[in-house]
A and B are shown apart, each in its own frame.
Chain A
Amino acid sequence: MLQVEDLDAGYGESLAVHAVSLHVDGGEAVAVIGSNGAGKTTLLRAICGLLRPRAGTVTFNSESLVGEPAHRIARRGVAYVPAERHLFPAMSVQENLELGAYPLRADRRQLELVFELFPRLRDLLSQQAGTMSGGEQQMLAVGRALMSRPGLLMLDEPTTGLAPILAEEAYASLGVLRGEGTTVLVAEQQVPLALDLADRAYVIEDGRIQMEGPAGDLQGNPDVRRAYMGIA
């Protein structure tokens, strides 16, 4: 579904991502794990068009995404939930969700699916997004992304700013989505949560992929455990 080959990307003079190759197949959940500053965000931004890749190819459903502006990549079915969420703070939950479906026009059924996943959003429908708690904003950000019925849901650190229990809840809802067959690519430094969710994972350090494999294998890998899971 998504195929990234030898991608270079970065801001200014330096490259934050070097020759990264990865792929995500339909229905798969894939995690990109690594510490802060490893290049995860740059990688996702280069895929969704918010940052133009310096080199390499990105293909989605066998169409090239390189050089396409972000709004067109979104219309092609790649939904991106940034760590800072980028909600519309002075708009209601309902308006935020409806804008998520902007190219398709809002769809009642899709709205119901989002409410099934996040019943809390139904109660907050007329609340302004900027006045909600971090956990609620995270739900809304994922809900807004789902409104476009994306082929691929990409999330950057969905646990940012969330208390541990809310982080677990966020991953529980991603687990539900995965169970329903949504294709997910998540970048995360809370490695245990991400590896529990994912089928496969890539370990990224200094902008390069260091390791890749089934999530279960990486969970048992002593290097990964030491570096990211706080286990000696």
Chain B
Amino acid sequence: MAVVFDGVAYGLQLGLLAVGLTMIYGLGGVLNLAHGQFAVLAAIAIAVLSDRLPTPAALVAGLAIAALAALATDATIMRAVYRLDGEARVLLSLLLTIGLAFVIDGLLIYNYPFTQLKLSVPGPAVDILGVPMRRGSLAASALALSALALLIVFLRYTRRGRAVRSVIQDEEGAQLCGIDPARVRTAVFALSGALAGLAAVAEGLTSSVSATDGTELTILALIVTVVGGLGSVAGALLAGLLLGLVYTMSQVYIGTYVTLVILLLTAMVTILIRPAGLLGRGV
């Protein structure tokens, strides 16, 4: 039972990490390989700023910094990417964002080699259905769950959220309805930066985030996105939960050292059975 709870908790975090990536793919057919780096950027910013600011202010500032970095990326290198079509567009996005990832990694590791984001929620473990859960883990789950719920409400029930889904489902149809796909992409890119930052906060509540974690987070987000189905928000959530459960179970029952291998095997098997991912395309 405890394993299942831990798996769900981790799964929610993975889902939160992946939703931004999958939305960007859905909107423009591009992959952002600096996604995990945006998460780490937020984490390091929060860790550094919390020496000077009260924690809530540092959190808000950190998320804002990640969103601004994403916005700057959209305004510069993504401009060039969106000018291309089809395969060339995906390829250029991969090349440019992996370069960006190296730059962010380099800057953060050079300037903040020992900084860690570690957020502790003091107090004894809370009993949930007979399972003692750490408060940090509960807080991380609550954070991920509410962020994802808000995102889904935004996409389903608000006018602007529908505009986002319309561009994902049919860009030309959206244009004919008077919606500017470029503006939607910019807004969602910024949002994805903030969501990556939130995922880092959740990670900081359960363990810790340091400057070297960007690549691992990017890879995790990528695996979740591909397993869930590129472009599908619900798929990212489902795949996050699946992989979170697999991850914790394999850690407990098999061993930490093969966990990443098992995670990748799960992803490979899923993709072999369903090449489009769990929930294919559509939001």
Q: Using CB atoms and an 8 Å cutoff, list the residues of chain A in contact with chain B.
A: 48-50, 69-72, 74-75, 79-80, 82, 85-91, 95, 98-100, 102-103, 105, 144-145, 148
Q: In the complex, how many residue pairs between chain A and chain B have their CB atoms under 8 Å apart?
A: 73
Q: Do A99 and B175 have beta carbons less than 8 Å apart? A: no
Kindly provide the distance from the CB of B174 to the nearest chain A CB, expressed in whole angstroms: 8
Q: How far does the alpha carbon of A80 sit from the alpha carbon of B283 in the complex, in Å? A: 25
Q: Using CB atoms and an 8 Å cutoff, list the residues of chain B in contact with chain A.
A: 159, 162-163, 165-166, 169-170, 172-181, 282-283
A100-B283 in contact given A50-B172, A88-B166 (Cβ < 8 Å): no
Kindly provide the distance from the CB of A58 to the nearest chain B CB, expressed in whole angstroms: 16
Q: Select one of A69, A91, A100 contacting B175, CB under 8 A.
A: A69
Query: Which residues in A have their C-beta under 8 angstroms from that of B179?
Result: 71, 99, 102
Query: Which residues in A have their C-beta under 8 angstroms from that of B176?
Result: 48, 70-71, 74, 79-80, 82, 86, 145
Q: How far does the alpha carbon of A89 sit from the alpha carbon of B176 in the complex, in Å? A: 15
Q: Select one of B163, B169, B282 contacting A102, CB under 8 A.
A: B163
Q: How far does the alpha carbon of A88 sit from the alpha carbon of B282 in the complex, in Å? A: 9
Kindly provide the distance from the CB of B282 to the nearest chain A CB, expressed in whole angstroms: 4
Q: Do A91 and B166 have beta carbons less than 8 Å apart? A: yes
Q: Do B175 and A88 have beta carbons less than 8 Å apart? A: no
Q: Select one of A50, A91, A103 contacting B169, CB under 8 A.
A: A91
Q: Do B170 and A50 have beta carbons less than 8 Å apart? A: no
Query: Which residues in B have their C-beta under 8 angstroms from that of A89?
Result: 169-170, 282
Query: Which residues in B have their C-beta under 8 angstroms from that of A102?
Result: 159, 163, 177-179
Instruction: Please give 8 more A-B residue pairs, beta carbons under 8 A apart, in addition to A91-B166, A99-B174, A102-B179.
Output: A48-B176, A49-B175, A71-B177, A71-B178, A71-B181, A88-B166, A91-B169, A103-B178
Q: Which residue of B lies closest to A101 (CB)?
A: B177
Q: Do B178 and A74 have beta carbons less than 8 Å apart? A: yes
Query: Which residues in A have their C-beta under 8 angstroms from that of B163?
Result: 99, 102
Q: Do B177 and A148 have beta carbons less than 8 Å apart? A: yes
Query: Which residues in B have their C-beta under 8 angstroms from that of A75?
Result: 178
Q: Do B180 and A69 have beta carbons less than 8 Å apart? A: yes
Q: How far does the alpha carbon of A95 sit from the alpha carbon of B163 in the complex, in Å? A: 10
Q: Select one of A74, A86, A88, A148 contacting B165, CB under 8 A.
A: A88
Q: Do A148 and B178 have beta carbons less than 8 Å apart? A: yes
Q: Which residue of B lies closest to A84 (CB)?
A: B172
Q: Do A87 and B170 have beta carbons less than 8 Å apart? A: yes
A99-B166 in contact given A75-B178, A86-B176 (Cβ < 8 Å): yes
A50-B165 in contact given A88-B170, A89-B282 (Cβ < 8 Å): no
Q: Most chain-A Cβ atoms within 10 A of its Cβ — which of B159, B176, B181, B282?
A: B176
Q: Select one of A72, A86, A90, A145 contacting B172, CB under 8 A.
A: A86
Q: How far does the alpha carbon of A71 sit from the alpha carbon of B174 in the complex, in Å? A: 8
Query: Which residues in A have their C-beta under 8 angstroms from that of B166?
Result: 88, 91, 99
The 7 A-B residue pairs whose C-beta atoms are closest, nearest first, are: A86-B173, A90-B282, A70-B175, A103-B178, A74-B178, A88-B169, A75-B178
Q: How far does the alpha carbon of A210 sit from the alpha carbon of B181 in the complex, in Å? A: 37
Kindly provide the distance from the CB of B100 to the nearest chain A CB, expressed in whole angstroms: 27
Q: Which residue of B lies closest to A95 (CB)?
A: B162
**Contact sample, A vs B, 14 pairs, CB 8 Å cutoff:** A48-B176, A69-B175, A69-B180, A70-B172, A71-B176, A71-B178, A74-B178, A80-B176, A82-B176, A88-B165, A88-B169, A88-B170, A91-B166, A144-B177
Q: Do A99 and B170 have beta carbons less than 8 Å apart? A: no
Query: Which residues in A have their C-beta under 8 angstroms from that of B173?
Result: 85-88
Q: Which residue of A lies closest to B172 (CB)?
A: A86
Q: Do A99 and B180 have beta carbons less than 8 Å apart? A: no
Query: Which residues in B have their C-beta under 8 angstroms from that of A87?
Result: 170, 173
Q: Which residue of B lies closest to A80 (CB)?
A: B176
Q: Most chain-B Cβ atoms within 10 A of its Cβ — which of A95, A99, A102, A105?
A: A99
Q: How far does the alpha carbon of A75 sit from the alpha carbon of B282 in the complex, in Å? A: 26
Q: Which residue of B lies closest to A70 (CB)?
A: B175
Query: Which residues in A have their C-beta under 8 angstroms from that of B165?
Result: 88, 90-91
Query: Which residues in A have their C-beta under 8 angstroms from that of B172?
Result: 50, 70, 82, 86
